[in-house]
Every structure is written in C-alpha cells, then in structure tokens.
Amino acid sequence: MFPVIYSDEFLDHKTGNYHPERPERLTAIVHALKEAAFAEKIAWREPTAALENSSVMQLLVKVHSPNYVNKVKEIATTGGGYLDGDTPVSPRSYDVALLAVSAWLDGINTVLETENPAFVLARPPGHHAEGDTGMGFCLFSNAAIAAYYALEQPGINRVAIIDWDVHHGNGTQAIVETNPQIAYCSLHQYPCYPGTGRSTERGFHNNVLNVPIPPGSDISVYQPFWEKKVVPFLTEFQPDLLIVSAGYDANADDPLASVNLQPQDYGLFTNYCLGITRKILFGLEGGYDLDTLSQSVVATINSCLV
C-alpha cells in the first residue's frame, strides 16, 4: 500500500477568488488518485492533529522566528489579511498551516517505518517561506521543518531535499544551507520568481546545488541535468532520507511559468530519486493547472508502485 497523508481541512486555507493556489488543487488530485488504476493500493491517512504533535511548535520556532509565527497567527485570528500581495492568510490559515507541518512530520515517520515512499497532499505550500517571513503563497517551510525533524530520528544523519518545483525554493535553501547534515538541490526556471537560485550558490558546506533551467525547456533539457549533476550530487551526499518538494508547475500547461514538461516526465524524475533511496517523502508544493497537476501526481506515485 502507498501512504497518502491528506485531510479535507487543507481545503480551509482560503485564498480568495482567482488565486492560483486554491483548494481545488487538492480536490482535483484526490479525484484523480481515486480514479487511478492503482487506486486500491493507496492507503489514505489523516494527519495527526497539530496540537497533539509536540514536535510541530518546537520545530516551527526553531526554523521560523517566534515573531513571524505570532504574526501569522494574529492575522488569522483577527479575520485574515496578507503577508504580501501574493500570500493571503484566511481565518483558518494558521491552523491549517500547522496541520500541514504535522502532516509532513507524519510523512517522515511513515517513510522511516516502512522504508518506502509516501506522499503528503497538503497545503499551503512552503518552499518560499523564509525564517522570518512568508511569501509566494507559502506560510511555513514544510520541507525544511521535515528535514530538521528527520535528523532527530534514530539512524538519520544526512537528509537531502530535491526541489523540482519550477520556482526556486529560496526559503528552504536559506533555512538549511548552514547545516552540513542537509543537502538542498533545486531545478527551476531561471530567470523567474523569486529571482534566487543561481548556480554559483553552493551553501555553507558545498551542500547546495542549483540547476537553473532556461524558459521553454522540455524533458530533453532536464534529463542531462539529472544524470550529470543532480544524481551525482545526491549520491555523493549519501542521504539516509530524501525529501522531495514536489511542485508540478513546470508543466507546459501551467499558467505561472514557461517550462514545457509533461505529466509523465515526473514519473522519470521519481525513478531517478528511487535510484538513490526508497526512503522518500514527497510533499506537494506548486502546480496550478488542475489537469496536469493531478496527472503528474498520479505519474509520481505510479512510478513508486512499479
């Protein structure tokens, strides 16, 4: 069985009319997975309530400043507002974001228990959230928090994060690049939002690999990068666990970027990751065309089941 960690509560983070990061992203994926040929092989799991997960707040204030965490909570409890022009906070957003963090931690536990992949189907996304601010639709840095949590578990000394979202995960990189036990690798369109992620950025311990992708690129551009840069970088790091910031906005039909991948290409990406380790936690980041988003998640999970 393939574990998918999901809750309908993730739909309660309301972003307003016409916002690309909308609840329908999750309902489209859930529908697609329930219609997939492997639907009977999915084990749907509810995340642990954030208040019952003592690690959530401890790690949250380790990764984010307490002032920032309190700011998100205050905006939510006073009726909602914006962290920036792109990043709304609705009345339930703080609670939902905490539940998303809890889901990612549950995902780490599941992967370590089974030594096989799992998928966290949660929102809001997280890879743009920096230590003291949210941006780019992101509230809390889910992948970075999950990496620090993983390092607290027995037998986990090195964690790698691969970010294949079309946008660079500036928040994740900023939070983990000082830690020699965490490697961060991102393939992203450049130039593009948020303007970070140059190939010259190598982290404090040579633990960062950024692979800028030119606009208009397709799988023929990505494959050599995976085989000549990404896989060697991750293999040399020898991670005990791999976390994937699984954004699907590099699809040709996605409205927020200009890269021309197809949903089945994410199955290939997944196979590259499986060649490094089966201890993989996939967690949803971007992806805003509902059809190709849901097809891409199906392709990702299908590769794990083959």
Which sequence positions are flagged as catalytic?
128
Q: How far is the CA of 251 from the CAs of 58, 97, 105, 269, 291, in angstroms?
A: 36, 26, 28, 13, 10
Cα–Cα dist 32/34, whole Å: 5
Closest CA to 163 of 291, 284, 18, 39: 284
211-215: Cβ within 8 A, 24+ apart: 211/185, 211/186, 211/187, 212/188, 213/166, 213/187, 213/188, 213/189, 213/250, 213/259, 214/189, 214/190, 215/189, 215/191, 215/257, 215/258, 215/259
How many residues are listed for the chain in this entry?
306
User: Is the CB of residue 220 less than 8 Å from the CB of residue 265?
Assistant: no
